[in-house]
Amino acid sequence: MTKKKIRVFINGFGRIGRAVARIMLEDECCELVGINDICSYEQMAYLLKYDSVYGTLPYVVNVEDDILFIGTQKVQLFSEADPSNMDLRVMEIDVVLQCSGMFLTTASNLPLIRNGAKKVIVSAPSSDDMPTYIYGVNHKKYRDEPVISNSSCSANAIVPIFQIVDTYFGIESAMMSMYHSYTVYQNLLDSKHYSDDIRRTRSATQNIIPLMSSAAEATETFFPHLKGKMYAKSIRVPVPSTTLYELHIQIGKKTGVQEVNQVLREEIGGTYSDILDVTELPGSSLEYIQSPYSAVLNLSLTAVVEEDLLRISAWQDNEYGYAKRVVDMAKYIAQY
């Protein structure tokens, strides 16, 4: 008997929404049934077909009226700023992926549930007490809540690494530097910006820009004993995707590089093999474009000072790697 595909709707067809769509097109467990964005249908189709980071999609893509054709697949299109205006009932949607960067509270996503969707996954940390799950970390604790957060790209990378380090060496405090690609929430050239962070006014393509980050708070959710003992900075660099995480961790046990790398290799080869990987190769950021992992730990860069100050370096495609986890989470919660 063929397994029923999960029926997915994407709200917000931007960088993450389109990366998710590309991943689902290659996953026989998923069917993309609908997309909503406030841009034109022509732009949705064009940006799916041509992507400056991931290349040209190997399917014929076109729009007829409000239907997007991707090869032989038909996807219903909407252009609604307010989710309560979309009747989703006839589409029998298992999961809406909320990738708009808006609607960060449970209440603001409930109209999607009332209008026919079974579940919603928000592709960002919430701004309320929405249940938060990270695939490979705590997704098995999912309790059938209708609206959940998939946390941030940074937390998806950092939290599983910290779980290993905390278990074996005991984390006392940590500083996280994230050399992160620019995003659409920055300016192409110096210009006004709506953010409180004044450096967001500066040109993303010309500068290294230190920005405020919520990664410490997002990580603390999973390590309550480290509340107030972590600090994170997002250092935006002029590349369009990928992040290098430099994690400086004060640990409670004396150790050395060899022992740390052995623990990381063993844990990542076992418990975390779906979401983490290790490498010793001398790659740089381009090698991690379209990496499916939440993080690839570069073991040749592991360092230990004075036996208890540890530095771990890890790579992530913050778009594609994160989008993979959104799809994993959708497949998991659709079973409930």
Ligand X SMILES: NC(=O)c1ccc[n+]([C@@H]2O[C@H](COP(=O)([O-])OP(=O)(O)OC[C@H]3O[C@@H](n4cnc5c(N)ncnc54)[C@H](O)[C@@H]3O)[C@@H](O)[C@H]2O)c1
Known binding residues for NAD(+):
15-16, 37, 123, 318
According to the binding rule CB under 6 A, does residue 152 interact with ligand X? yes
Listed in order, strand segments (DSSP E) in 156-308 are 171-181, 209-211, 230-237, 243-251, 276-279, 295-298, 303-305
Cα 142 to the center of its chain, rounded Å: 18
Q: Does 124 bind ligand X (CB under 6 A)?
A: yes
Nearer to ligand X, 81 or 208 (CB): 81
Name the residue with the smallest CB distance to ligand X: 14
The residue range among 9-17, 55-63, 109-117, 284-292 that interacts with ligand X, by the rule CB under 6 A, is: 9-17
Q: Which x/- pattern over 193-232 shows residues binding ligand X (rule: CB under 6 A)?
A: ----------------------------------------
153 catalytic? Reply is yes
The nearer residue to ligand X, 80 or 287, going by C-beta atoms, is 80
Which residues in the chain belong to E strands, given as ranges?
A: 6-11, 30-36, 50-51, 55-56, 61-64, 67-70, 73-78, 95-98, 119-122, 147-149, 171-181, 209-211, 230-237, 243-251, 276-279, 295-298, 303-305, 309-316
Cβ 123 to ligand X shortest distance, Å? 4
Distance in Å, CB of 291 to ligand X, minimum: 13
Candidate residues 27, 37, 94, 220; the one interacting with ligand X per rule CB under 6 A: 37
Residue 136, Ramachandran bin (φ over 0: left; ψ between -120 and 50: alpha; else beta): left
Question: Where does residue 100 rank: exposed (0-12), middle (13-18), buried (19+ CB within 10 A)?
Answer: buried
200: left (phi over 0), alpha (psi -120 to 50) or beta: alpha
CB within 8 A of 217, min separation 6: which ones?
125
Instruction: Closer to ligand X by CB, 5 or 139: give it.
Output: 139
Q: Is 184 in the site for ligand X (CB under 6 A)?
A: yes
> Is there binding between residue 322 and ligand X (CB under 6 A)?
yes
- Of 33-41, 87-95, 229-237, 270-278, the segment contacting ligand X by CB under 6 A is 33-41
Distance CA 227, CA 213 (A): 15
Token pair 């190997």 is found at 58
- 153 or 299, CB closer to ligand X? 153
CB of residue 130 to ligand X, shortest distance in Å = 13
Tell me how crowded residue 102 is: count the other CB atoms within 10 A of its CB.
Answer: 14
Applying CB under 6 A, does 14 fall inside the site for ligand X? yes
CB of 253 to ligand X, least distance (A): 33
Residues 234-293 that bind ligand X (CB under 6 A): none
| Residues near ligand X, by CB under 6 A | 11-17, 36-39, 81, 99-102, 123-124, 152-153, 183-184, 318-319, 322
Which residues are marked as active site?
153
